[in-house]
């Protein structure tokens, strides 16, 4: 994965192998590798959506994209490769230097043993997410280190990520042995240190191999310059890897597509995971648990009587059932859980820190739902493997946290099912992929929590008051006039007999949020609590006015998501930084400029202006009374 920054290991190994067996291997009529061919088969392609994190690596091409016959044949062969190997070239290369995105590539590889599907991944730190993509479907890992440099932090980080993603076999290629004079001592030191590291991670088997890839030493045949070695070459070590298959103890298919034919039949599309599936097999629909038999089956667009692990399939059920995208077809309901809370290991990709309490989107095969990351239990130090107390995760960090979802999902521990145990974390505003998660187990407290149905709801309470319950959310820089305008709006509404309540940022921090500071994590939690309070007040039938700086779009979007369409009104009090600094009624900007107030919005902490608020108030050119009148007029027009 990492290590030598100057030797592209995977390409070197394949280049040497091609020199000995250059002809392409034969294939059988159904597209499978011919075991009798015994020649190297080298075929490369770009993996579609290869930069997606583990939960998205389901082996299917994106919708609305047609694969050629050759691509379909390659996909069929890939699904049947008895072993999958994650390989990384440690050199950044041209794409890294120019800032272009490099992707991991898939290549079937056959010499004398059964075919191995290689995921060739870049090893540079900027491409950790690509390495995670390759490792997410790998059975084993070929790891390159520089004999003259030893184990780097990035090497150990990639090992920790691979272990987290279920890799249990490693071929450790200690490269550039020529730089240490082909001596045994440096090799033994690296092997001993790495094996000790792997034992702590639960990696079962490590095969260390000394090589000098530039000259082909011990790549495919033993080298006379490594006469002291009693072990295999790199190629022999790869061929000896057990075809362990994926971490797949659950036979299942998450439903990713629902198709209807002209005769009205319903077909369910997805990727089958687990033991072979045959026509007439009995499956259960999660979460309902209803049992139903498979009536017809297609694999890669061709009618079939059996589907193997990893096959992209479409099936028809014998009976009509209530199932759709996001539901799961599986053999045994005891293999999964259905809950909205779980404990998960997280791998963070984005430069923006992961903050507990912030609202994100959780994407699983076929379903996307809102989520919040609750308590961050710890961050894992990839070098010492010690859990460290942290309040956030940054790019390439590994951590463990509790997850709370907006709606229950069907899942299984990642250790038993990669298909049901993985998810992707997505930014709800930009829809960028931020990280990936691997579920450890559900939280029992979720089973004890049930939403109590009440006879009197928001509409009934609001109707009793003769008004529409809403949330009016004022946002803007400190000193822009939010509280002044909100106060005048409330005074006008109160005079008209409308029941209101004003939540002011400073006032709330005197009580409910007095334990919070002004770091990014504390601001996120501050707004989360206020959003929940605002929702409760709106449920009481009130018109609630919220006056907070609320600098982050994500938190404002999370607050909006708590209300029905039209019941959340975002008001942007627009005042330039120079103007609010000139006003500075509390002297806060002056203190911030002197360094006495760290994390002050607009000075050393960002403010993300709304992109499409319902109301924009020009606080530079108009007085508060006029601006308050604009808000009242909008509320009257949309009531």
pLDDT beyond 70 at 428? yes
Query: Can you give the pLDDT at residue 126?
Result: 75
Query: Can you give the pLDDT at residue 90?
Result: 41
Query: Can you give the pLDDT at residue 16?
Result: 39
Percent of the chain with pLDDT over 70: 80
CB burial readout 82-93, b (16+ within 10 A) else e: bbbbbbbbbbbb
Q: Read off the pLDDT band of 619 (50, 70, 90).
A: very high
Alpha helices in 118-183 (DSSP H): 128-135, 153-164
pLDDT beyond 90 at 616? yes
Beta strands in 455-533 (DSSP E): 470-475, 500-504
pLDDT beyond 80 at 116? no
Q: Which residues are known catalytic residues?
A: 550
What CATH superfamily is the domain 458-637? P-loop containing nucleotide triphosphate hydrolases (3.40.50.300)
Query: Can you give the pLDDT at residue 287?
Result: 87
Cα dihedral value 227, 229, 235, 240, nearest 10? 140
Query: Can you give the pLDDT at residue 549?
Result: 94
What CATH superfamily is the domain 336-447? Translation factors (2.40.30.10)
Query: Mind spelling out the 3-state secondary structure of 235-259?
Result: HHHHHCCCCCCCCECCCEEECCEEE
What is the CATH topology of the domain spanning 9-239? Rossmann fold (3.40.50)
Q: Read off the pLDDT band of 190 (50, 70, 90).
A: very high
Residue scoring higher pLDDT (491 or 41): 491
Query: Can you give the pLDDT at residue 360?
Result: 94
pLDDT beyond 60 at 446? no
Task: Answer positive or negative: Cα dihedral of 448, 451, 456, 457.
Answer: positive
Query: Can you give the pLDDT at residue 247?
Result: 55
CB 164 within 8 A of CB 398: yes
Per domain, the residue ranges of the chain are 9-239, 252-333, 336-447, 458-637
Region of poorest pLDDT, from 18-27, 45-54, 305-314, 382-391:
45-54
| The residue to which tokens 């045949």 are assigned | 221
Same fold for the pair 9-239 and 336-447: no
CB 85 within 8 A of CB 213: no
Query: Can you give the pLDDT at residue 100?
Result: 39
Annotated binding residues for ATP: 476-483
Distance between CA atoms of 200 and 163, rounded to whole angstroms? Answer: 10
CB 348 within 8 A of CB 264: no
Considering the chain, what is the average pLDDT of its residues?
Answer: 81
Distance between CA atoms of 376 and 390, rounded to whole angstroms? Answer: 7
Q: What is the pLDDT of residues 203-228, one digit of tens each?
A: 888 999 999 988 888 888 888 888 88
Sheet arrangement for strand 83-89:
45-46, 105-109, 116-122, 83-89, 140-146, 169-175, 205-210
DSSP string over 183-211: -HHHHHHHHHHHHHHHHHHT--EEEEEE-
Q: What is the pLDDT of residues 58-114, one digit of tens each?
A: 333 333 333 444 444 444 444 444 455 565 544 333 333 334 344 666 666 666 556
Query: Can you give the pLDDT at residue 103?
Result: 61
pLDDT beyond 50 at 501? yes
Residues 6+ apart with CB under 8 A from 272: 252, 253, 307, 308, 309, 310, 311, 313
Query: Can you give the pLDDT at residue 85?
Result: 59
Query: Can you give the pLDDT at residue 29?
Result: 37
Residue 375 to residues 174, 303, 358, Cα–Cα distance (Å):
40, 48, 11
What's the CA angle centered on 18, arms 15 and 20, to 5 degrees? 125
pLDDT beyond 70 at 524? yes
Instruction: Name which CATH class applies to 252-333.
Output: mainly beta
Phi-psi region of 418 (alpha: psi -120 to 50; beta: other; left: phi over 0): alpha
* pTM of the predicted protein model: 0.70
Annotated binding residues: 476-483
Residue range 253-263: mean pLDDT, rounded: 88
pLDDT beyond 50 at 531? yes
Q: Which of 134-143, 274-283, 538-547 has the highest mean pLDDT?
A: 538-547
Distance between CA atoms of 31 and 46, rounded to whole angstroms? Answer: 19
């Amino acid at each position: 994965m990492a290590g030598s920054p100057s030797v592209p290991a995977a390409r070197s190994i394949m280049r040497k192998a091609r020199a000995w067996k250059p002809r392409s291997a034969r294939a059988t009529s159904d597209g499978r590798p011919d075991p009798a061919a015994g020649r190297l088969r080298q075929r490369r392609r770009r993996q579609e959506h290869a930069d997606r994190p583990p939960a998205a690596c389901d082996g299917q091409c994106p919708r609305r994209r047609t694969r050629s016959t050759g691509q379909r044949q390659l996909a069929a062969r890939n699904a049947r490769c008895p072993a999958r190997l994650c390989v990384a070239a440690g050199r950044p290369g041209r794409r890294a230097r120019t800032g272009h995105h490099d992707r991991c590539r898939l290549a079937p590889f056959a010499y004398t043993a059964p075919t191995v599907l290689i995921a060739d991944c870049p090893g540079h730190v900027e491409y950790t997410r690509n390495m995670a993509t390759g490792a997410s479907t790998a059975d084993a890992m070929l790891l390159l280190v520089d004999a003259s440099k030893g184990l780097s932090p990035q090497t150990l980080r990639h090992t920790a990520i691979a272990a987290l993603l279920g890799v249990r076999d490693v071929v450790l290629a200690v490269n550039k042995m020529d730089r240490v004079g082909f001596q045994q001592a440096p090799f033994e030191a690296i092997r001993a240190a790495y094996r000790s590291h792997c034992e702590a991670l639960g990696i079962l088997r490590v095969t260390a191999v000394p090589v000098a890839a530039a000259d082909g030493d011990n790549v495919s045949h033993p080298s006379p310059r490594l006469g002291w070695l009693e072990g295999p070459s790199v190629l022999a070590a790869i061929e000896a890897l057990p075809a362990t298959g994926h971490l797949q103890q659950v036979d299942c298919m998450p439903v990713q597509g629902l198709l209807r034919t002209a005769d009205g039949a319903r077909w369910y599309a997805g990727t089958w995971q687990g033991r072979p599936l045959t026509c007439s097999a009995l499956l259960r629909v999660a979460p309902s648990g209803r049992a139903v038999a498979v009536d017809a089956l297609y694999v890669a667009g061709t009618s079939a009587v059996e589907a193997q692990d990893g096959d992209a399939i479409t099936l028809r059920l014998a009976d009509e059932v209530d199932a759709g995208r996001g539901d799961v077809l599986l053999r045994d309901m005891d293999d999964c859980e259905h809950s909205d809370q779980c404990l998960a290991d997280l791998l963070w990709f984005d430069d923006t820190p992961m903050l507990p309490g912030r609202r994100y989107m959780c994407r699983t095969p076929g379903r996307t739902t809102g989520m919040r990351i609750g308590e961050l239990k710890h961050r894992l130090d990839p070098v010492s493997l010690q859990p460290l107390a942290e309040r956030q995760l940054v790019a390439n960090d590994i951590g463990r946290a509790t997850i709370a979802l907006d709606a229950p999902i069907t899942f299984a521990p990642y250790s038993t099912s990669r298909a049901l145990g993985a998810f992707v974390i997505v930014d709800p505003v930009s829809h960028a992929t931020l990280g990936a998660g691997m579920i450890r187990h559900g939280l029992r407290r979720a089973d004890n929590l049930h939403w109590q149905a009440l006879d009197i709801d928001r509409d009934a309470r609001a109707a009793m008051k003769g008004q529409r319950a809403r949330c009016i959310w004022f946002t803007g820089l400190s000193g822009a006039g939010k509280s002044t305008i909100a106060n005048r709006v409330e005074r006008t509404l109160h005079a008209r007999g409308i029941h209101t309540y004003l939540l002011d940022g400073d006032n709330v921090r005197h009580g409910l949020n007095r334990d919070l500071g002004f770091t990014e994590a504390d601001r996120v939690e501050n707004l989360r609590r206020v959003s929940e309070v605002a929702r409760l007040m709106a449920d009481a039938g009130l018109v609630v006015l919220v006056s907070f700086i609320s600098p982050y779009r994500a938190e404002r979007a999370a607050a909006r998501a708590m209300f029905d369409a039209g019941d959340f009104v975002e008001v942007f009090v627009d005042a330039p930084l120079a103007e609010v600094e000139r006003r500075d009624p509390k002297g806060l900007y002056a203190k911030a400029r002197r360094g006495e107030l760290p994390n002050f919005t607009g000075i050393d902490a960002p403010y993300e202006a709304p992109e499409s608020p319902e109301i924009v108030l020009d606080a530079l050119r108009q007085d508060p009374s006029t601006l308050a009148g604009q808000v009242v007029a909008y509320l009257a027009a949309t009531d």
